[in-house]
Amino acid sequence: MKSSMDKEVQPASVLRGSPSLPADKSISHRSVIFASLHQGHSTITNFSTAADPHSTICCMRSLGVNIQEKDHSIKVEGVGRDGLKSPDEDLDCGNSGTTMRLLSGIIAGAGTTAQLIGDKSLSSRTMQRIIDPLTDMGAQIDARDGDFAPLHIQRNGKLQPLHFPLPIPSAQLKSCVLLAGLFGDDPTTVIETLPSRDHTERLLQLDIQEQKDKKIIHSSRADNIPAQSYRIPNDFSAASFWLVAGAVHPEAKISMKAVGMNPTRNAALEILKNMNAEITVSDRRKEGAEPVADITVSSSQLQPVDITKEMVPNCIDEIPILAVAMLFADGTSKITGAEELRHKETDRLAALSDILKKAGASFMEFEDGIEIHGNPDFTPQQGSFSSEHDHRIAMSAAVLSLMGEQPSQISNAACTDISYPNFWDDLQLLTNW
Ligand code: S3P
């Protein structure tokens, strides 16, 4: 049955235009947190208006930081590392794992006391990965069943520095430990063997040693926390939905401006190019510490590709939409080493399989990935696709639906507000020809 929360997506005869794109979500979170820790003012332009970064703004306000929002800009009166207060209320992280994991590091490091809560999805995601290192640093963390939010965090003794080889390639975990380390007299060291997104290191200008097979990152109280006054790039992860839509659709040309080009984020661009996607990248430039460029994609004849464990961290959020691209490739593609997808806003491998099954695709799901038998003539059966309240699943299902012959329904479609509030308007804009 169709509910008012569902969205109907019509097949598209043409896809053409320039979507508005939201600002980068990962950088938005970090910019407001780091601006709060800076002693002084920051003005951040093109700040994301999506729900997740807004959760971070609200939490930073509860920690005593004055933040003004106007249109797509925010002004932050940074209180410095020692100016944060213990909040009177719970810190509501909403649906945002980045908010919960990064702020846990800040609270443990600063020695404030706070309880962090989240929505149903966030409350079912493991927090063990941050609880272990923060406990080793001296935090006392009470978590539901020892693993899940609500997390009550306080610290009684002195902050202990940590030497931390990352057990999984997670930027949230890396950032959590480095942020706690910023409050320590002695340096905390994080050792990374598979590179994950590096916005934290870039924006905080942390001390890094690059070695042949690893990256060693230090943080301590000696690090100056710079003001965060820059323009945030548009979100590559949001752009990836249109990159795939443009590549798989037979009548498409889509252009996007000032898209984030951080190499630790945009492996999907290289993967699509390896699939033979017609993508041009122009006017490479920098916005603050981050590279950006303009990108155009047009209808392509896609070849199959494999995504392996080493590639996964740099395209982790794009895997659901890359799987959609694989459906239209001329042969079999395989994704392996992507078990982390089971720990996202929903189990994204299971959610994806459910959609592919309804669409009539030929595929096989594994514990750590999926194999997809593509076909350039594939026409998805129309269906009632379940978003599982997960923004990236909803948007992937919407792009797939554009390729059908009949309208499809996407359940709980408003969940796209988590990262891309204008998604449905942009879809309308591109298909209205
Ligand atoms: C993020 C890191 C990734 C990513 C998430 C945002 C970040 O999560 O999936 O959407 O901003 O640091 P993990 O660190 O759990 O891989």
How far does residue 171's CA lie from ligand 1's centre (Å)? 6
Residues near 292 by beta carbon (within 8 Å), at least 6 away in sequence = 233, 234, 258, 259, 260, 261, 284, 285, 286
Are 150 and 42 part of one and the same domain?
yes
pLDDT value, residue 181: 98
How far does residue 382's CA lie from ligand 1's centre (Å)? 31
Atom of ligand 1 nearest to the CA of 175: 12
CA–CA distances in Å: residue 347 to residues 138, 182, 282, 323, 368 = 32, 33, 36, 15, 11
CA atoms within 13 A on the CB side of 159: 27
Q: Which of 6, 24, 317, 390 is catalytic?
A: 317
Are 211 and 80 part of one and the same domain?
yes
Are 105 and 247 part of one and the same domain?
no
- As for how many domains the chain has, the answer is 2
Best mutation site among 26, 98, 318 for ligand 1 pocket (most ligand atoms within 8 Å of CB): 98
How far does residue 3's CA lie from ligand 1's centre (Å)? 31
97 in any annotated domain = yes
Atom of ligand 1 nearest to the CA of 25: 11
403 in any annotated domain = yes
Are 257 and 187 part of one and the same domain?
no
pLDDT value, residue 271: 98
pLDDT value, residue 64: 98
Give me the torsion for CA of 29, 32, 35, 37, rounded to 10°.
-80
Amino acid at 367: E
Are 195 and 341 part of one and the same domain?
no
Best mutation site among 26, 56, 173, 314 for ligand 1 pocket (most ligand atoms within 8 Å of CB): 26
For the chain, 433 residues long, give each residue's pLDDT as a single digit of tens. Answer: 445 589 999 999 999 999 999 999 999 999 999 999 999 999 999 999 999 999 999 999 999 999 999 989 999 999 999 999 999 999 999 999 999 999 999 999 999 999 999 999 999 999 999 999 999 999 999 999 999 999 999 998 999 999 999 999 999 999 999 999 999 999 999 999 999 999 999 999 999 999 999 999 999 999 999 999 999 999 999 999 999 999 999 999 999 999 999 999 999 999 999 999 999 999 999 999 999 999 999 999 999 999 999 999 999 999 999 999 999 999 999 999 999 999 999 999 999 999 999 999 999 999 999 999 999 999 999 889 999 999 999 999 999 999 999 999 999 999 999 999 999 999 999 998 7
Are 93 and 215 part of one and the same domain?
yes
The domain that holds 412 is classified in CATH as 3.65.10.10
pLDDT value, residue 146: 96
pLDDT value, residue 1: 42
Are 168 and 257 part of one and the same domain?
no
Boundary residue ending a domain (187, 211, 230): 230
Boundary residue ending a domain (230, 263, 295): 230
Ligand 1 cavity residues, CB under 6 Å: 26, 98, 170-172, 175, 197, 316-317, 340
Boundary residue ending a domain (230, 246, 279): 230
Q: What is the DSSP secondary structure assignment for residue 159, as one 8-state letter?
A: P
The residue whose C-alpha atom lies closest to atom 9 belonging to ligand 1 is: 317
Q: What is the pTM of this model?
A: 0.97
Are 13 and 65 part of one and the same domain?
no
Question: Chain-centre distance of CA 184, in angstroms?
Answer: 28
Are 244 and 223 part of one and the same domain?
no
Atom of ligand 1 nearest to the CA of 316: 9
- What whole-number distance in Å separates Cα of residue 16 and Cα of residue 307? 29
Are 13 and 67 part of one and the same domain?
no
How far does residue 45's CA lie from ligand 1's centre (Å)? 22
Residue from 50, 44, 87, 48 nearest 65 by CA: 87
Are 397 and 419 part of one and the same domain?
yes
How far does residue 161's CA lie from ligand 1's centre (Å)? 24
Are 206 and 242 part of one and the same domain?
no
Question: Counting Cβ atoms within 10 Å, is residue 221 exposed (0-12), middle (13-18) or buried (19+)?
Answer: middle
Q: Is 347 a residue of the active site?
A: no
Question: Counting Cβ atoms within 10 Å, is residue 236 exposed (0-12), middle (13-18) or buried (19+)?
Answer: buried
The β-bridge partners of 76 are: 42, 67
The residue whose C-alpha atom lies closest to atom 13 belonging to ligand 1 is: 170
What is the domain extent for residue 122? 25-230
pLDDT value, residue 382: 80
pLDDT value, residue 156: 87
Backbone phi and psi for residue 69, each to the nearest 5 degrees, phi listed first: -110, 135
